[in-house]
Amino acid sequence: MDDSLGLVEASKVTLEGGLDLECGKKLEILDLVYETYGSLNSDASNAILICHALSGNHHAAGKYKGEKRSGWWDSLIGPNKAIDTNKFFVVCPNNIGGCHGSIGPSSINVETGDYFGPDFPIITVKDWVRSQAMLSDYLGISKWHAVIGGSLGGMQALEWSRLFPDRIKKAGVIAAAPRLSAQNIAFNEVARQAIINDPDFHEGRYLDKGKSPKQGLKLARMIGHITYLSEEAMRSKFGRELKEEKLNYGFDAEFEIESYLRYQGDIFSENFDANTYLLMTKILDYFDPASEFNGSLSNAFKDIEAQILIVSFSTDWRFAPERSKEIVNALIAAKKNVSYLEIDSPHGHDSFLFTNSDYVKGLSSFLKN
């Protein structure tokens, strides 16, 4: 069976009315880039929304003309895959604040004629979900069959079930957490400081000067990448292998893991915007549904009507299984319909991107009916 989506194209829409943000500001213009796969049925009941994580974008599956690399969740989205495009109409937007076509810090502010840069307002997960609801209206989708995401994407799926309980049938919350721990906030702060202290940052106005804080962004990505991999994955993939047969007694990359992290950082710094990275880490830091309910997560879930699937991975130490169980226990306390899968995987936090057989079966089964 052919499981390839083949060539795909992105679409762009300017949503009318703007968006009032949680920070008190308003985005007057709301440009959103998105991709769709499959076909919407006659009653628009087969639509699935995919929410991307921190460094993700709208290109979740398929390939662009002239490019070899597939979308970031191509392993799970397509004909006969877990998210089956023979059955479902799949939508994946690039969230506002991003740097892949939707309005964000690297967009031009029409009021000034300059890049938004650091003047782009702070966004929250709630703001994202509300902008996605506006896209839903534009596409003629009154209720999603499912909203699914991994990591920060899972937080969006959870927020969808809270904010729009009558517009979502199912929510897939994968490798997520109910809020960040102090350790996770600390990792994000170190990454932000790496960017801010790059000499080419220029208080966030680097685009106006034709610069980019690539070294700081590279370091930020290297820090993040360490947290996405498990010790087991690092050990099996790299161990203490040297690039050459002997030590050079210097400070250049000698171990394979050093070379790998530098390479990942270099690639990322060429393709991502530093202000967007700062913004994304703040969005993660601020996510805390229980804060509106005196710290009670179960009360935060009181209006949920959707069927919820929570998935965690055994070696994920960024958002460990214990964090997913906090969500599960709160949903049970709130008497909600919740299922839980803990998948044995060696890939750490990045496990949600891989096709573990139990993971695929669980997700496929959840999406039926």
Give φ, ψ of 215 to 5 degrees: -65, -45
With 0-12 / 13-18 / 19 or more C-beta atoms within 10 angstroms meaning exposed / middle / buried, residue 310 is buried
Interacting residues of 158 by C-beta distance below 8 A, sequence separation 6+: 171, 173, 176, 178, 289, 308, 327
Residue 360 in contact with residue 82, Cβ under 8 Å?
Answer: yes
Spacing of C-alpha 354 from chain mean position = 15
Given the residues 151, 161, 312, 324, select the one marked as catalytic: 151
Residue 356 in contact with residue 346, Cβ under 8 Å?
Answer: no
Given the residues 127, 198, 316, 350, select the one marked as catalytic: 316
15 DSSP β-pair partners: 30
Given the residues 74, 349, 350, 351, select the one marked as catalytic: 349
| DSSP state at residue 346 | S
316 is catalytic: yes
Residue 234: name the closest of 113, 349, 108 by CA.
349
Gyration radius (Cα) of the chain, Å: 20
Cα(108)–Cα(116) distance, rounded to whole angstroms? Answer: 6
Q: In what order do the strands lie in the sheet with 170-174?
A: 11-15, 30-37, 89-94, 47-51, 146-150, 170-174, 307-313, 338-343
Give φ, ψ of 110 to 5 degrees: -65, -20
Sequential DSSP letters for 203-266:
GGTTGGGT---HHHHHHHHHHHHHHHS-HHHHHHHTTT-BSSSS--SSSS--BHHHHHHHHHHH
Q: State which amino acid sits at residue 324.
A: S
Residue 316: name the closest of 307, 325, 308 by CA.
325
Q: Beta 19-20 vs 26-27: how paired, if at all?
A: antiparallel
Active site residues: 151, 316, 349
